[in-house]
Amino acid sequence: MSMTEKRSEQQSLRQRREAMLARLGLDEKHKMPLAPPTQAFWAILSVTVLFTAVGLIMVLSSSSVVSLHSGGSAWSLFARQCKWAMFGAVGMWGAYKVPYHTWRKTKWLMTFIVVSVFLNGLVLLVGRDINGARAWLQYGNFRLQPSEFMKLAVVLFCADFLSKRHKYVAVRERVLQPMLMVLAVTAGLCVFQKDFGTALVFILIVLSLMTFAGIPGRQLGVSTAGIGFLGVLVLLKASNASRRLFAFWNLAETKRHDGYQVYQSLLSIANGGVGGTGIGSGTSKWGYVPLAYSDFVFAVISEELGLFGSTAVIAGYGVLVFFGVRTALRARDMHGAFIAGGISAWFGFQTFINIGGIVGIIPMTGLTLPFMSYGGSSLMVTMIASGLLLNVARHMK
């Protein structure tokens, strides 16, 4: 066979292969069915972009006074958050473009998990204490919260693990016990860091994924009861957590000390009324609400945007979680379903814990509000997680 005939045959095979991929709805890069973007895809993308933009605006509004009082520019914290948002946008794009099956490769997944756990262990040795919790690594002006990255690592690990063993969910040794071990390691590291809010998020993520996997109700119930009992013991032993819990129960009596932040947040929310005071015109950031630009940014949103604005924000998170769950239910495979389900549980529970603590319906735990609060690690990781969610939504049935 001549060289010309060989080239002609190779070209013909390539054309036939490309035609076959096109008929199946596949492309060379994803090697997965690539249908037109769905309603869930556009909803998740819209909420992510909108909330990131609104979060930057509210960080600027709520941090300007603190930045000036610290001797810097009124734009300093805002500029730093913008840099993290750019890193997050790059990570989000990468998480969307790279096929999520890539994370099933043992070397990538195990490297990510080992590094995440190592950094969280390192925090216990050389971490920086902020507001009673040792949860940050700092070098100069650079600060990192490793537990945020561990959330993503846990979702990816559990998604891979459960998708491989979901047929054995009734066998405790194959599924329940390893999942409880993951929960113990991740939540335990956060407890030792005295970051109880993040520990609670890990517990809820893992329990949600166990529920999605179909672990028998009795096993799940006994496990939940045991975790709850241990949680109560930890809270009773931790003085700061105990004071916050009792402050929540007796806010009127503790409003001058342990309940001060929540009480001032409620005053700010009431001051906003229906229409709000307008962006930049709120009073909570003038020292009345500590950490107004971080954990308590929802109080600033409620004051400056009013009832309409705060309701729209809550509805936006509801839309994000709804379409995230819908993506999980319609995912092409179990791996994608568990990724989408884990991220949806993460966003939903963390939002509820943050807003619930600010409005006084549950104890305040010091968690950030996804996409909105100041915090580079939190913003970047939630944007990457959103990119993964978009990745799964792009390949829905």
Q: For the whole model, what pTM was predicted?
A: 0.87
pLDDT digits (tens, 9 = 90+) for 178-204: 999 999 999 999 988 888 889 999 999
H or E element in which residue 299 lies: helix 297-329
Q: Which pLDDT score, from 0 to 100, does residue 24 have?
A: 45
* pLDDT (tens digit per residue) in 85-108: 999 999 999 999 988 888 877 777
Which single residue is written with the structure tokens 């071990």? 181
Structure token digits, residue 38:
């769905």
**What is the full DSSP assignment across 195-222?**
-HHHHHHHHHHHHHHHHHHT--HHHHHH
Tokens 């006994």, located at residue:
222
> Residue holding tokens 């537990």?
147
Question: How do the domains of the chain map onto residue ranges?
Answer: 41-393
pLDDT digits (tens, 9 = 90+) for 314-351: 999 999 999 999 999 999 889 999 999 999 999 999 99
* Residue carrying the six token digits 């997944």: 109
Q: Are 205 and 248 in contact (CB under 8 A)?
A: no
Per-residue pLDDT at 75: 78
Residue 100 CA to residue 229 CA, distance in Å, equals 36
Buried b (16+ CB within 10 A) or exposed e, 322-337: ebbbbbbebbeebbbb
CA–CA distance, 190 with 365 (Å, rounded to integer) = 12
> Which residue in 129, 176, 211 sits closest to 184, CA to CA?
176
Query: Across the beta sheet with 133-139, what order do the strands follow?
Result: 128-130, 133-139, 142-144
146-165 vs 177-192: helix axis angle to the nearest 10? 180
Residues of the chain predicted below pLDDT 70: 1-35, 69-72, 131-132, 238-250, 252, 254-255, 258, 287
Count of residues in the chain: 397
Tokens of 298: 């929802």
Which H or E run contains 52? Answer: helix 39-69
CA–CA distance, 188 with 199 (Å, rounded to integer): 7
Amino acid at site 203 = I
* DSSP classification of residue 37: P
pLDDT of the residue at 172? 83
Question: Using an 8 Å Cβ cutoff, are 350 and 362 in contact?
Answer: no
Run of H or E including 155: helix 146-165
Query: Positive or negative CA dihedral for 237, 239, 242, 244?
Result: negative
Q: Are 81 and 59 in contact (CB under 8 A)?
A: yes
Q: Note whether 186 and 121 are within 8 A (CB).
A: no
